[in-house]
Structure 1
């Protein structure tokens, strides 16, 4: 989403975690419009002070620089645009939350007839200059405003957006893509990406725990263990955005939510609940749960090809956490899984205050509920209930 992050967030007081400021991915600023009959059916949320702060955060060039320098992200989008060139050439495209305009320019280079680049952040002013500098003003129209508010007086063939936040749904930018889809997308039109899947898995991470917590047991020969409760709270009260290794993951991942961008509703995003049951593949201390996501760039909704992400396998005997492309002509997948090349999204970790020792084959079960915060819809409340070895626990936190 170009522009994704609001500096203010990054709750990353995550002791030691390299986390990014940029993840406050805003609803990508942008998008909305035209006076067509179906518009009246669409409930568009008002622009709040939180929204304004979010858009403001995206006016900082550093956020866009971080996203553009994420080669996995940017090159996968460019590859997807080229792979779907036949749906883009000579067609009308909306880029929801265009940021610096890079995806809009990729679409223009792929032969789009017209691209509406929508962003509510002041970065739209720079995007206009970038478009001019590349002699594309006749093709790329930059609209500075929310998707919910701008005017586009024609139907569009393609919606492209980099809307994903930490844990996929943080920052609630997918809502703007839904608004753009319901306002302007022609039947049979293309949405890139088309599908997304949020995964979770139990993780062991002793190094992280040692550097944030065990450190206090002996500081220059002094017992500072009275600080341990505060250290645990400061390090692990909120979710941490950091990179973990595939070796830290104790089980096959579980699908928390599958998103079909052609059919998902705004209401579905307000609360997501999933039950899980994991079986540990090794004996290790369990330090928390990791969350990550994949997005897939497949063809239009009326395309007969089923998404490879639509029915993710419950178990995966192939030794990979997700399905890979079996053939080069299959849908491109952008993955933020621990075993894949790192991205600026990294993984989101919800740590326990105290680890749980699990044996090989021990069951870890429970449920997770993700809800939009009443305080600020761009924040996400996480409610975890989990049990293992006859003990039950609850962990609540906010990704803010």
Structure 2
């Protein structure tokens, strides 16, 4: 789904493009360590490599309707799954209290949907969310992971005496077999800038293969935001440093330094003070209805008005995910409080009605936010830096469009195409998140 309808920001016009020149072959400077996705098969043939078989534990059951052939597991996928076998990635995610405690609270808040029901955990990692679901009374939890971390997850399940409830499946969601419908899908699928890693596709596949009509998906919704940012300290640290190095004029290094520092998106933490305008929605996702094809290319137009006079150094991106019941479920009788509140001015734009339609009842939803004003998470924020800052005045309009598309080189990577115009000058910035 492209950024139209309720989520359109209303910019329709050709930009007089001035391309930002790039030097070939240089990677980004100081790039944060990337996460990689857990939803696909370590064995390229899609076999269950550790023999955690489903049918042996479920008895006689009728298999669901045969699905079309799954997409092949590429060498990039194999490398990606292998990266999730490292314990450090899982340690970082589990120690992210905003992330982990929000998921635990969401499971307990929706205990009535989970108790006595069948759950699938897509990309289970160490199995912690599967165990939370078992503790909430799930009848059975299928913990699916393509990475070799599934071996450790199985041991964790055994150590907690939950082998009768939690069944670890080592393989891609696209390849493993579950011979029954499930009531709940839970997954921590979000990558940097929400869509990096392309793991949402595995959640959609699980939904289409196994979820009962009216079943619960946690999280239920996701929204990606963007806004212009000013970050003079970062620019000074990376670029202006070269003007005078121990008394030596090394400004000849500045163009190369810009390329190295700002060619690729940067994952880092900023504060609300760095944000020049109200944010706008790039993409809103309803996990019950989103189609895989919608994620191939996401296009959004934007039109910002600067709240201050400052140099604009780039565009910041962050996201919220919401944990709410299916639309057909009975109304909630109690309200939940977000562990990582996303209800600040950074997450909702008051100037655009369409940006506010993503929640039927915002005060009722449990939200995990990666906004600059929310408690910090390991996702931080993603900044697409310009090679040279653009000076903007208070109330100056900044408008353009952004296109996020899966890389043809590797679908786990994301191409970013930014067009922006301000004060009569128009530019294009292209980068790849890899």
| Superposition RMSD in Å | 2.5
User: Which residue number in structure 2 is paired with residue 288 of structure 1?
Assistant: 314
User: Which residue number in structure 2 is paired with residue 61 of structure 1?
Assistant: 87
User: Which of 104, 120, 123 is matched with 1:78 structurally?
Assistant: 104
Is the counterpart of residue 251 in structure 1 residue 251 in structure 2? no
Look up the SS of the partner of 1:210 in the other structure. Answer: helix
Q: Quote how far apart the aligned CAs of 1:383 are.
A: 0.2
Look up the SS of the partner of 2:295 in the other structure. Answer: helix
- Residues in 2 aligned to 1:14 and 1:291: alpha-carbon distance in whole angstroms: 19
Look up the SS of the partner of 2:314 in the other structure. Answer: strand
State the structure with more CA Rg. Answer: 2
Look up the SS of the partner of 1:23 in the other structure. Answer: coil
User: Which residue number in structure 1 is paired with residue 35 of structure 2?
Assistant: 23
Mapping of 1:122-161 within 5 angstroms?
A: 122-161=148-187
Q: Quote how far apart the aligned CAs of 1:185 are.
A: 0.2
User: Which residue number in structure 2 is paired with residue 4 of structure 1?
Assistant: none
Question: Deviations 1:12-68 (Å, cap 9, x if unpaired)?
Answer: 8443x6x3x24234446699999412x43x563211111000000000000000000
Look up the SS of the partner of 1:222 in the other structure. Answer: coil
Mapping of 1:292-307 within 5 angstroms?
A: 292-303=318-329
User: Which residue number in structure 2 is paired with residue 7 of structure 1?
Assistant: none
Checking the alignment, whether the CA contact within 8 Å between 2:228 and 2:275 is kept in structure 1 is yes
Checking the alignment, whether the CA contact within 8 Å between 1:262 and 1:301 is kept in structure 2 is no
CA, structure 1 residues 195+344, in 2 after alignment: closer, same or farther (shift >3 Å)? Answer: same
User: Which residue number in structure 2 is paired with residue 172 of structure 1?
Assistant: 198
- Residues in 2 aligned to 1:119 and 1:83: alpha-carbon distance in whole angstroms: 25
Aligned residues: 377
- Which structure 1 residue ranges, 5 or more long, are not aligned? 1-10
User: Which residue number in structure 1 is paired with residue 122 of structure 2?
Assistant: 96
Question: Deviations 1:336-395 (Å, cap 9, x if unpaired)?
Answer: 000111100000000000000000000000000000000100000000000001100000
Q: Quote how far apart the aligned CAs of 1:126 are.
A: 0.2
User: Which residue number in structure 2 is paired with residue 50 of structure 1?
Assistant: 76
Is the counterpart of residue 262 in structure 1 residue 274 in structure 2? no
- Residues in 1 aligned to 2:211 and 2:284: alpha-carbon distance in whole angstroms: 21
- Residues in 1 aligned to 2:149 and 2:27: alpha-carbon distance in whole angstroms: 24
Q: Quote how far apart the aligned CAs of 1:304 are.
A: 6.5
- Residues in 2 aligned to 1:326 and 1:383: alpha-carbon distance in whole angstroms: 31
- Residues in 2 aligned to 1:210 and 1:101: alpha-carbon distance in whole angstroms: 43
User: Which of 215, 218, 230 is matched with 1:204 structurally?
Assistant: 230
Structure with higher RCO (Cα < 8 A, 6+ apart): 2
State TM-score, norm by structure 2: 0.82
- Residues in 2 aligned to 1:289 and 1:265: alpha-carbon distance in whole angstroms: 27
Mapping of 1:296-335 within 5 angstroms?
A: 296-303=322-329, 314-315=349-350, 327=363, 330-335=364-369
User: Which residue number in structure 2 is paired with residue 36 of structure 1?
Assistant: 64
- Residues in 1 aligned to 2:185 and 2:414: alpha-carbon distance in whole angstroms: 25
Look up the SS of the partner of 2:419 in the other structure. Answer: strand
Checking the alignment, whether the CA contact within 8 Å between 1:197 and 1:259 is kept in structure 2 is yes
User: Which residue number in structure 2 is paired with residue 398 of structure 1?
Assistant: 432
Q: Quote how far apart the aligned CAs of 1:270 are.
A: 0.3
User: Which of 338, 349, 352 is matched with 2:386 structurally?
Assistant: 352
- Residues in 1 aligned to 2:400 and 2:222: alpha-carbon distance in whole angstroms: 23
- Residues in 2 aligned to 1:230 and 1:215: alpha-carbon distance in whole angstroms: 13
Checking the alignment, whether the CA contact within 8 Å between 1:72 and 1:341 is kept in structure 2 is yes
Checking the alignment, whether the CA contact within 8 Å between 2:124 and 2:143 is kept in structure 1 is yes
